[in-house]
Chains A and B, each alone.
Chain A
């Protein structure tokens, strides 16, 4: 049995003629692992497999020491899992407390008093302690997503699988979320998919960049950022020869690629490195 929390070997998944995951192999252990990639890269497909709600077409998986392909394995995994799906769905007529309480029952929290205390705890963790009995339909989109984060935290799961959890959440709440996740990740495993590179930079010890069902990068955030070292420039004007460029809020242009004339080298961000990597990959694929 592997000591990794999640072990993937040769995982493949297709939707018709589209290959969502292409013979992917990965090993994930404790800490926060962030998954970045463009739309259609296969991140959600992969996270759904980790959450045991999707089966691969081929390959071998082991999650928390159990085989999710078997009923017994799936049951064992789900008892130690917290999951935030990309599109959660809500019982809008229920209050936040009632909804999370219902999910707590499904998570086999059968002692009523203990369950209610746990529900209160997780809702307070996401700063919804003042609106426990507010109906979900009366909440904003961001608040509802915080309810979903709360249910994922029920029972202090050993594995947290979060698919774009911070979409629609305000910056203050995003900070709070990072804090919660970081604390959990001290001795548990958190797998996070996001388009927000700042979240990855702030929370993840490890980042995996995916594109077209394959892993393009697997390493630390520093290593990914270093990928763009010496390749990010600031200039007054845009340069059509740059690989990527955009105008910033200060009026300057940020360019990625070869140095244009009159430009100034700047410290790359994780986003710069990601854009450079994905752009690289796209160009290589087009060249091929």
Chain B
């Protein structure tokens, strides 16, 4: 597919060249003077000013500029509560289309003498080609300035309706500005070496292909994890889907140095079109070394101290979390999840209000743990460990991250891929499951048993939904979600599934929905009156239905699954 796209782009490039070449105007065989000892660099400044004006007014650049705020809003707008890490890197990513447009604009501005047939007239002027090239490339500064203003202005607008945890990461966002600046250099360089229309478009396409290769995890030339540091050799590297700044290993400063080095190398290549005098050769060599060093620096594993901090965060989270105690319930959350504690508290007290007093008085711990499966930018599910730096992932085990400690581990607060918030419905169901003695599980991948057809499964689902605002609606939506095992709630394709340790049947969820249509107090009283029976593993959901006065579901009917692994003890 990539080859086909490339072939189409090359074809368009050559068609454009034939379409817009001046047939009558013979290009000057001897163009602008190359490197000369008597060169005057004083021309650079006024020339740069003139060229910058043409670049910033070029239709291609203007289109890119208009699109930039829209791209930023599209990249960030969908997540009203996010981290500055993700927002900062999204700003950089949103500037890439402006970069493509700038490559084309800079290329066309550089080729303007040729396109208009004025190259013979202009090349007869004394200003040497290296001076002209430097002046053109200095347009990168105003171009990047425009990008910065657009990004800042858009973020002021977005910030009114969004909350970002952490601090703004200027170095991350600045990568986007360097990309815009570098795009000017690429456009000029391509014009110098391939002075034909269409190659600017080809260059923009090539940068997109190169970047896309780095975004894909399983395409040639590699098969790698999401957190592989090799990705920092691209122009941009997204944060991993772990989305926790403490677990992100990013050498933002080195990446800026790397990008700046690439820009300078390209600038040197553009200037080399007229020869490589010794100073340019030395500068080019030094820049290549600096770029390579910066690239290598990004690949280094974190230092020992940083490694220890990351491992501690994962395996001893309580030491990095803030805990609060409410009577018999203890809540622990890291700073970035602290905003959810209030909702967890509401769900727990909501469930406790529906329980028999002795059950409600039991000790409970609600402790945040990282999700087991995370999603990347295109919502493809990735294991959590794939989001860890390989050096860190090698030193931790799943049992360290998700200990079997009997606590409720709140997972995702929303439907998949940035879908609607559930107001901690999944956590409420976990609390309900705890209340009816269903075995807790450390994480979603560790499904201990199947509660399908058990009365306590219905009770857990009902307790969770009844304690959650719009819980019935959420449960209904959950039942309608795709499943890979008919009759079971399996969260097929979810990149961040809830941490439910047991398998529930869709039929049991439907019975819970019928209970939700009854007065809450009535159901609670009926359950409390036969609590020991309700929580007994042998009690079926049909018996529960009779207990509360409902027609039991038909066993074996479509949607009711009586076997999905070992039954919960």
Interface residues of A (CB under 8 A from B): 48, 51-55, 71-72, 74-76, 78-79, 81, 83, 85, 87-92, 101-103, 105-108, 110, 112, 115, 148, 151
Known contacts A78-B125, A88-B121, A107-B125; decide if A53 and B29 are in contact (CB<8 Å): yes
Docked-complex contact B33 and A89, CB < 8 angstroms: no
Q: State how many angstroms separate the Cβ of A54 from the closest Cβ of chain B.
A: 5
The 5 closest A-B pairs by CB, nearest first: A89-B117, A89-B118, A106-B125, A78-B126, A83-B124
Provide the B36-69 mask, 1 if CB < 8 A to any CB of A, else 0.
Answer: 1111101101110010000000000000000000
Docked-complex contact A107 and B116, CB < 8 angstroms: no
Q: State how many angstroms separate the Cβ of B496 from the closest Cβ of chain A.
A: 53
Docked-complex contact B38 and A72, CB < 8 angstroms: yes
Known contacts A79-B126, A105-B50, A110-B43; decide if A89 and B121 are in contact (CB<8 Å): yes
Docked-complex contact A89 and B113, CB < 8 angstroms: yes
Docked-complex contact A106 and B30, CB < 8 angstroms: no
Q: Which residues of A contact B29 (CB under 8 A)?
A: 53-55
Docked-complex contact B117 and A71, CB < 8 angstroms: no
Docked-complex contact A106 and B120, CB < 8 angstroms: no
B24 contacts partner chain A, Cβ-Cβ < 8 Å: yes
Partner of A75, one of B22, B24, B33, B121: B33
A81 to B35, CA, bound (A): 19
Q: Which residues of A contact B116 (CB under 8 A)?
A: 89-92
Docked-complex contact A71 and B124, CB < 8 angstroms: no
Known contacts A53-B29, A102-B50, A110-B42; decide if A90 and B118 are in contact (CB<8 Å): yes
Residue of A nearest to B116 (CB): A89
B112 contacts partner chain A, Cβ-Cβ < 8 Å: yes
Residue of A nearest to B46 (CB): A105
Residue of B nearest to A78 (CB): B126
Docked-complex contact A148 and B121, CB < 8 angstroms: yes
Docked-complex contact A108 and B40, CB < 8 angstroms: yes
Partner of A91, one of B22, B31, B40, B112: B112
Q: Could you say which interface size class chain B belongs to? A: 35 or more
Interface residues of B (CB under 8 A from A): 22, 24-25, 28-31, 33-40, 42-43, 45-47, 50, 112-113, 116-128, 132
Q: State how many angstroms separate the Cβ of A135 from the closest Cβ of chain B.
A: 14
Docked-complex contact B119 and A72, CB < 8 angstroms: no
Q: State how many angstroms separate the Cβ of B313 from the closest Cβ of chain A.
A: 58
Docked-complex contact A78 and B120, CB < 8 angstroms: no
Docked-complex contact A75 and B113, CB < 8 angstroms: no
A173 to B513, CA, bound (A): 94
Docked-complex contact A51 and B124, CB < 8 angstroms: yes
**Can you list 11 pairs linking A and B with CB atoms under 8 Å apart?**
A48-B120, A53-B31, A53-B120, A55-B29, A71-B128, A78-B124, A87-B117, A105-B47, A107-B127, A110-B43, A110-B45
A55 to B132, CA, bound (A): 22
Docked-complex contact B126 and A71, CB < 8 angstroms: no
Q: State how many angstroms separate the Cβ of A69 from the closest Cβ of chain B.
A: 9
Q: Which residues of A contact B28 (CB under 8 A)?
A: 48, 53-54
Docked-complex contact A89 and B119, CB < 8 angstroms: yes
Q: Which residues of A contact B123 (CB under 8 A)?
A: 53
Q: Which residues of B contact A83 (CB under 8 A)?
A: 121, 124
Q: State how many angstroms separate the Cβ of B468 from the closest Cβ of chain A.
A: 63
Q: Which residues of A contact B132 (CB under 8 A)?
A: 106
A92 to B50, CA, bound (A): 15
Which of B112, B124, B126 has the most C-beta atoms of chain A within 10 angstroms of its own C-beta?
B124
Q: Which residues of B contact A87 (CB under 8 A)?
A: 24-25, 117, 120
Docked-complex contact A108 and B43, CB < 8 angstroms: yes
A54 to B124, CA, bound (A): 10
Q: Which residues of B contact A115 (CB under 8 A)?
A: 46
Residue of A nearest to B115 (CB): A89
Docked-complex contact B43 and A106, CB < 8 angstroms: yes
A81 to B124, CA, bound (A): 8
Q: State how many angstroms separate the Cβ of A61 from the closest Cβ of chain B.
A: 12
